[in-house]
Structures are given as C-alpha cells and as structure tokens.
Amino acid sequence: MRNHLATQPLFDLSQPGRRGAQFPAADVPEKPLEELIPSQALATEPTGLPEVTESDVIRHFVNLSTLNMCVDTHFYPLGSCTMKYNPKRHERLSSLPGIVDLHPYQNQADLQGMLELLYVTQEMLAEIAGLPAVSLQPAAGAQGEFTALLTAKAYFEDKGEKRTKVLFPNSAHGTNPASAAIAGFDCVQLASSKEGLVDLEDLKSHLDDQTAVFMVTNPNTLGLFEKDIRQIAQMVHDVGGLVYIDGANMNAILGYTRPGDFGGDMMHFNVHKTFTGPHGAGGPGSGPIAVRDFLADFLPGPVISHDASAAEGEAYQLVTPAKSIGRVRSFYGNIGILVRGYCYLRTLGAAGLKAVSENAVLNANYLKALLKDVLPVPNGDLCMHEFVASASRSKAANGITAMDIAKRLLDFGFHAPTVYFPLVVPEAIMVEPTETESKETLDAFAETITRILKEDPEFLHQAPHSTEISRPDEVVAARHPILQCCESE
C-alpha cells in the first residue's frame, strides 16, 4: 500500500522549525555574514527551502522512486530503444576507486590504465563493426550520427567535392534526418517496398553525384534485415556516396554479421543499449563511431593510440587525427558508460555476444508468434530482435487503438511499448523483448494483451487506471513542463 502523504511535494510537507539534522555550537568566534561573504553574493531574504525531518525526506524520495517503471522492476519492451537488464557486476567494476578517482587533467603517464582500457574498447568496437577506425568521443547515438555526417562532409570537402544530399528510408529513426539537416545536408526520404525494406527503384531514382550519404538502420525499425544491403551499398558507392549504418539495432546481429562486411562505411554504436549502461530519460549515453580507413583522418579527437616500443608510461597516447573535424565532446567521451561497455564485452566475449543476438531474436519471434493472431504483424514472417504489430484491426472493429493498449499495459505492470512508429505501419506497436526476458514474462505479456483486447473499449480509452497520472496532454507537458512546485516571487 503506497504512502500517498509521502509523495506530496516537500514544500507541502514543510513545517516551521522541523529539521533533519542539528548542527553543534560553533567552536570558533562568530562573525557577521557581511564580513565573510561579499554583499553582492548575499541573499536578500531566506530561500524558502522546505523544513522537514530526515524521515520525511527518506519516505518522500523512496516512495517517489517506486512511481517509476524501469528495467530493474518491470518488463520494458520498448521497441527501437533497447532496454535490457544491466548486470550489476559492471556497475561495481565501473565504480572501482582506481577508475572513478581519475581526473582527465592528470598527466597521461598517470592515466595509462584508463587509456589502455579505452584503446582496447576501440579495438573491440572496430572488430564488431568490421570498420577499422573508431572515435569514442560522441556522447550518444544521435550525436554519433551527427559526428559521422560531419566526418563525411570533411572527407568530401577534402576531395574537392561538394555533395549536398543525405538519403534515408521512410522507416528511419527520426534522428537520421535531424542529424543530416543540422550537418547542413538536404534530406531526401525514400519509400519502402511492400515488404517493408528499402525500395531499390526509388533509391536508384535519387542517386546522383550530389549524394553524400545513404543512412539506413539494419536490421531496420520493422525488425527486418535489409536482405539487399550489399546491392544497396554498391549502388551508393557507384555514385561516390557513403553508406551510414545506424547501429541502434546491433543487438540483433552481434557476432553474425558486421556493417563493414555488408557495405557500411560508417556506423555508430549505442554502447548504453547494445552493451550495458543504465539509461533512459535522456541519458547517460555513449555513441562511438566506427569508419573505414580512408575516413580515419577526419574523426573527432582525441583517439587513443598504442606504441608498444614507447618508454614506460607513454605506451598509450591521446592523439588528434591529421584532418580531424575537432572535438564533439569534452575530454575523451562518456567514460562511465564506456567502462561499463568494456566490462560487458570482456565478460561475455565473442561467444557470449553471439548468444545475446540469438536469444534476442528468439525472444522476439516467440512473442510475435504468441501475438500475431490478436495483433497482426504486417511485415515479415520472421523478425530480428523486434517486430511491429498493428492495432488497426481492433481500431476498426471496436475502437481500441494502439495508445489504448499501451496505456492499459501500465495497469498490469508492463511498461508501454513504442507506439505509432515507424509511420509506415498504421496503429503501430513496436515490441522489443531483448534477450534478458524469461519465457514466463513473455507469456504473461502476451496473455495480458489478449485480455486487454477483450475489455470494454470505453474503459480502455480512460486507461491507465492505477497510475498517479492517467493521460496528460503530452504535447503541452513536453513544450511547457512545470519544473518546480512553487512560483517564484
């Protein structure tokens, strides 16, 4: 039973004179604050902080924390944004004093251990990508996309070419065109085939000497592997363009294929998703990029180099590529997430990574098989790590929409999957169970959706019924968030 009193704002719980701690009497002579703090820095009146006891604070934040859903407490089938269980071992390892007590301004000779860890991480990511050059700088997947496009732009400018177009299929993540536009390119959206794959004829009609990059997620956002990816890459290369692989869905192909092997010239990793790292609500993330050798000189720096013959304390060095686009983030990247990723990769090894993809694909296809009769999946008989079902049939039959199903799932203790994306599927419900969920969890999820589809549509339109907030105006909430409970005077 939830303590609703404790979840009130601390300002509402405040009572004059209540304290969480008492300070001892001063053991030095007291002086007026005006003698200790410059007058311009002194507040003109008390700040109005809440006055509460320690138990008020503890109960408040503990109860608030239980209002959230997360992968540590619930099944989180958030398609298009892998939310797998994060092994706590990696949290412990990444919190060792020898790691967290380092400072980026320390002399490189004192950072050799960390630089070796980052160098090995670069090497492992290069091997997984099939692309030899890596920069760990980007702080998240979208920044990785943007960074790779700036790298491509610098490459073409260095060749004396001014290419203006970036192409992407209409099933692409929204960050693809956003990254291209911010990087200064014109965005060209392509149609998908009736199978949900890249339409080769539409691609061909837009390829010319102005094509800089073709961006594609593989497996794509429908959970389908682009079977013609080699031909696609050859078509782009034939006009002098580059192929960018959005690495958001690497969880499906680890150890089975590599973007560099099927024609990709650049890609980003979502270390926090594909490997490990607590993420959500905007961070923290890490989005290293891997590129072919002819793009290496343009990568953002610093990158980590290794010279086995160097003097002691100098084997690992921070270097800036010769024609680098410059830094895209402070210091060496998001170290906390990179260390977790390193631990994940070393823990699992090559065989373990392959097993990750096997089980992710197995779980997705098992769940798809359980649901396909009640929630049809328009594209593909088999999927990779995720699938996109459609609630269009239930909407036409009794008005039950994808949003109704997603919201009602919250009442049963399941996080809502992604809905209404990709746009190529009407009433889309994207489900990605990941490799870390059990058969019992998947069975319960499928049974719950089947049950929901039999409920009163009017009851579903008002769901969820058990959460603190039911259906806020999401547009207003996003554009005009109320970030404090007290109006400033």
Cα distances (angstroms) measured from residue 250 to each of 115, 168, 316, 423: 25, 18, 29, 22
pLDDT of residue 488: 52
CA distance 289 to 125: 9
Tokens (6 digits) for 213: 């990059």
CA distance 288 to 114: 17
Spans of the chain below 70 pLDDT: 281-283, 484-489
Q: Please say whether the beta carbons of 121 and 136 come within 8 A.
A: yes
Q: Please say whether the beta carbons of 412 and 460 come within 8 A.
A: no
Instruction: Name residues whose C-beta falls within 8 Å of residue 352's C-beta, 6 or more positions apart in sequence.
Output: none
Tokens (6 digits) for 237: 């290369």
Residue 155's nearest CA partner among 7, 289, 280 is 289
Tokens (6 digits) for 73: 């407490």
Residue tagged 């980052």 (tokens): 118
pLDDT of residue 355: 98
Quote the pTM value: 0.91
CA distance 384 to 221: 10
Residue 236 backbone dihedrals phi, psi, to 5 degrees: -70, -45
Residue tagged 């209002």 (tokens): 67
What digits encode the pLDDT tens for the residues 266-292? 999 999 999 988 877 666 899 999 999
pLDDT of residue 485: 64
CA distance 44 to 41: 9
Alpha-carbon Rg for the chain in angstroms: 26
Residue 402 backbone dihedrals phi, psi, to 5 degrees: -60, -40
First vs last C-alpha separation in the chain: 37
CA distance 259 to 249: 11
pLDDT of residue 19: 92
Instruction: Name residues whose C-beta falls within 8 Å of residue 258's C-beta, 6 or more positions apart in sequence.
Output: 128, 129, 130, 131
Residue tagged 């509402």 (tokens): 12
CA distance 354 to 351: 5
Q: Please say whether the beta carbons of 169 and 157 come within 8 A.
A: no
Tokens (6 digits) for 449: 């959706």
Structural domains in the chain plus CATH codes? 4-67 (no CATH), 90-346 (3.40.640.10), 352-475 (3.90.1150.10)
Neighbours of 479 (CB within 10 A): 8
CA distance 129 to 21: 54
pLDDT of residue 358: 98
Instruction: Name residues whose C-beta falls within 8 Å of residue 19's C-beta, 6 or more positions apart in sequence.
Output: 51, 53
CA distance 153 to 176: 15
Residue 134 backbone dihedrals phi, psi, to 5 degrees: -130, 140
Q: Please say whether the beta carbons of 273 and 248 come within 8 A.
A: yes
CA distance 146 to 373: 40
